[in-house]
Structure 1
Amino acid sequence: MERYPVEHGARSGESIILLHGGNVGNWMWEPQVEGLAGRHVITPDVVAFSSRSAEPWPGLRAAADDIAGIIRACAIDGRAHVVGLSMGGVIGVHLAMRHPDVVRSCMVTGAMMTGVGGFERRLAELQLRFWDRRWFWSAQATMFRIPSDARGLFISDGMGVDRAAASGMYREIFDGSMPEGRSAYSGPMLAIAGERESKSVVAAFPALVAAMPQTRTWIAPRMRHVWNIQDADLFTKTIVDFVDRDVVPPTPRTPPPR
């Protein structure tokens, strides 16, 4: 699988920028780019990952500043609808709070803003020990259900990330990276958690609402962490509904016990 381009579609309407998760690259958004055909879509590699793995990890705030620069340079009118997953979601929150002028709307999923502890943290620390082992990345590809035609790039991208960069990124997120205070960003904000992913994502919802009171939240039924691949059509539809109509999917009600 070849390196994925950064810009897609004609320069018309309003731009959408998609921020990928940790240890992968912009190629993870291929299903959404296909589903968003006809729109101007920007899919950058985050600094220190994939095609930019030779660059040192600068920290979440500087990573958000870097994305702001990409939006100003590439997006129509220097503003974009922001969509981020996992690490990309965390960066999206920092972006909205640090550079509200470049954000038209912000949708984040899997963003662990208030930290991770316990077993999850110990597991991540254990994983860092096997960072340079191909079998580890093969197992990760299976766990995240990476499509067969993308597994080779997933493995090479993962092994290509500097261990120090990965450790720094994990440490920031796992220690809790929610910026302090109220944000000047007042546009549409949606925070999503997959029903079957870490509870650390849902635990961050109150902090997001406190910083940006307009934040709405949604639990994606049956979805895991990387649900843009698990259910690409639903993920893309969620983007379109939010970007075009400011609509958040309804949360199914649990039927009453009999």
Structure 2
Amino acid sequence: MTSDKESGPKATQDFVREATDYPEVHPGRAPEGQRQAQTLVFLHGGNVGNWSWDPQVLAFGDFNILTLHLPAFGARFEETWDGLESAADDVAALIADEVSEGGVHLVGISLGGVIALHVAARHPELVDSVLVTGTPLTGASATARALNRMQLKLIGSEWYWRFQAGAYGMVDDERELFTEHGVKLKPENMRAIMDDLDPGALPKNLENYQGPVLALVGAKEPKLVQKSFVALREKLPQAITRVVPGMHHQWNIENPILFNSVLRKWISDGGLHQILVDPEAAKPSRTLEVPAGMSKAAEETEQGSAGKFPKKLDPRRLDPKKLDFKRKTTKQSETAQAPEETEK
């Protein structure tokens, strides 16, 4: 956070901070007539930091919010990845420390969704509801495994992350933060995460959790994610599975207005946003099976030319009061929006 003398547009431009500085704890205000605000816990994916939840932090000020740095990411990028169960226990420990009363609403994307389900399985008493999206649970194909391991040689390169940012539809400050964070990730940690996810990451004893679960997938995501729905429902018969039309993997950034609407409807009354489609009625596109947290490029290799990202409805920027992000001194070509892709 900046001090008073550092506040304002000029200070934001002059004072440089890194993508690893985004805070974990965001106190909220309790709605009128409610003694205490409920808690939302956001768990980020395997190639972004906790800053990626900023559009949700800005929209849910009536909740206490935790945006955790997962082990090996963000402020903890120097740490060694120690497995999914260890990461889940780490999340549970922070929840126990920060939440004095009631359970939390867990929200996870990609790797964060896998960890959210492990938290629910191992610490069900802490969880009131779960929403996961883009979360593969049943393993990756041999082709996907080979492609993703080939990309490990590139993760220290800025150009690689700038390319990925364009593929995800990120612009301006998002692109800078995504790149700044990505080059810090350690290949050995990413390889260890793949080793955990590739055989299938469905948690043991998931049936211990009896609360509500909503599992989503963007219609333009790899088909592997939707394949996981059957296995998830076998473990959790109460799980609801839906497809989000037109969306890619990182749709909390791609279309934050829609994501926030879907999430609020779910946590307010367990309801389903009208845009969500039953998987049986959806027509999945042919895509490469790419595990959580890995590159959009692998998917596009299989697809040829992916569909164009829908125009963003929310031209917001990251909140400078919560994060003083790095600004470029000159306008460079890489800050332009990613080239349009041919419609399928």
TM-score normalised to structure 1 length: 0.93
Q: 1:214 aligns with which of 238, 244, 247?
A: 238
- In structure 1, the partner of 2:132 is 108
- In structure 1, the partner of 2:249 is 225
Say what the alpha-carbon RMSD is for the aligned residues.
Answer: 1.8
CA distance in 2, matches of 1:86, 1:47: 15
CA distance in 2, matches of 1:93, 1:159: 28
1:8 aligns to 2:26 (yes or no):
yes
Larger radius of gyration: 2
- In structure 2, the partner of 1:32 is 56
SS in 2 for 1:64: helix
Contact 1:92 1:106 in 2 (8 A): yes
**Offset, 1:153:** 2.1
- In structure 2, the partner of 1:141 is 165
**Offset, 1:186:** 0.6
User: Residue type matched to 1:126 in 2?
Assistant: M
Contact 1:17 1:80 in 2 (8 A): yes
- In structure 2, the partner of 1:237 is 261
User: Residue type matched to 1:145 in 2?
Assistant: G
- In structure 1, the partner of 2:177 is 153
- Deviation digits for residues 194-222 of structure 1, max 9, x if unmatched? 10001111111111111111100010011
**Offset, 1:234:** 0.9
1:205 aligns to 2:229 (yes or no):
yes
- In structure 2, the partner of 1:166 is 190
- In structure 2, the partner of 1:192 is 216
Q: Which runs of 5+ in 2 are unaligned?
A: 1-16, 30-35, 283-344
Contact 2:84 2:118 in 1 (8 A): yes
1:54 aligns to 2:43 (yes or no):
no
User: Residue type matched to 1:107 in 2?
Assistant: L
Q: 1:69 aligns with which of 93, 96, 108?
A: 93
User: Residue type matched to 1:69 in 2?
Assistant: A
- Deviation digits for residues 176-199 of structure 1, max 9, x if unmatched? 111245511111101101100011
CA distance in 2, matches of 1:9, 1:179: 30
Query: Bigger shift: 181-190 or 37-46?
Result: 181-190
User: Residue type matched to 1:33 in 2?
Assistant: V
CA distance in 2, matches of 1:221, 1:36: 23
Query: Bigger shift: 243-252 or 163-172?
Result: 243-252
User: Residue type matched to 2:23 in 1?
Assistant: P
CA distance in 2, matches of 1:119, 1:224: 21
- In structure 2, the partner of 1:97 is 121
User: Residue type matched to 1:135 in 2?
Assistant: W
Work out the number of aligned pairs and report it.
255
Distance 1:182 1:88, change over 3 A: closer
- Deviation digits for residues 15-58 of structure 1, max 9, x if unmatched? 00000001211100010111112221110110110100111101
SS in 2 for 1:107: strand
User: Residue type matched to 1:130 in 2?
Assistant: L
Identity of aligned residues (%): 36
CA distance in 1, matches of 2:89, 2:211: 19
CA distance in 1, matches of 2:119, 2:148: 25
Contact 2:155 2:187 in 1 (8 A): yes
